[in-house]
Structure 1
Amino acid sequence: MTKDERTVYAFALRYALPRHTYALSIVSREILSRLNDFEDWELDGMIRDCWIYYPALDCGGDIDRRKADEFKNKLLAELVRRGRDDLLSRIKDEAERRGL
C-alpha cells in the first residue's frame, strides 16, 4: 500500500469516528485487515484520533464507543507485537495527562 493510500485510510477513520453510522465498523475492519501495511507512527496517530473524538462518541451511544475502544485496543496490541514500547509508553503518559 502506498503512503497516499494509507493517508486515505487515516482520513477515512477521522471521518468515521464522530459519525453514528456503520462507517466506523467498515473503516476499522478495513484498516485492521491491512495492519502490516501501516507504519508504527500511523497506528499511533489512529490511537490518538480515537481519543480525540471520544466526546463526540458519547452522543452515539455505547455501540460507537465500544467499537472505537475495540479498534484502539487492537492497534495497541499491534504496537505491543511490534515491540514499540517507546510509543506505548508515550501513549500511556498522554492518556494519564488527559485523564483517560
Structure 2
Amino acid sequence: MTEKTVAKHLHISPNSVQRIEYDAIYEGGQYKYQYNFKQQLPEAISMDEFRSANDQFSFIWCDATSIKQFEVLPNRLTKTIKQYFLGFSLANRSVFKARLSWI
C-alpha cells in the first residue's frame, strides 16, 4: 500500500504518513529494530521503498507474517538488493515462497 493510499484512508497528508513511518523506525538517528535475517529468511516478505536522509530512497522489507522484523537497505538499487539477498545461503533462500504486496 502506498503512502498516498494510506493518507487517503486516514484523511491525513502523505507527508504525515511519512513522518509517522520515520518516527516508528528511527530513534535518535538509529534504527529502533535491529534483526539479523542472515540466520533465517522468512517464507514470505513484504517490501517497499521510502525517502530517507538527504532525499535518498531506501529499501525496506519485513517478514510478511509478523511485520515486526525488518531490514532497511541504504538505497533501492537493484544491485544492492540483489547483493543483499544473495548473502543468504542457498538453503536459506529455498525456504522463501512468496513476495507479498508492498508494505
TM-score by length of 1: 0.30
Higher helix share: 1
Larger gyration radius, structure 1 or structure 2? 2
Higher strand share: 2
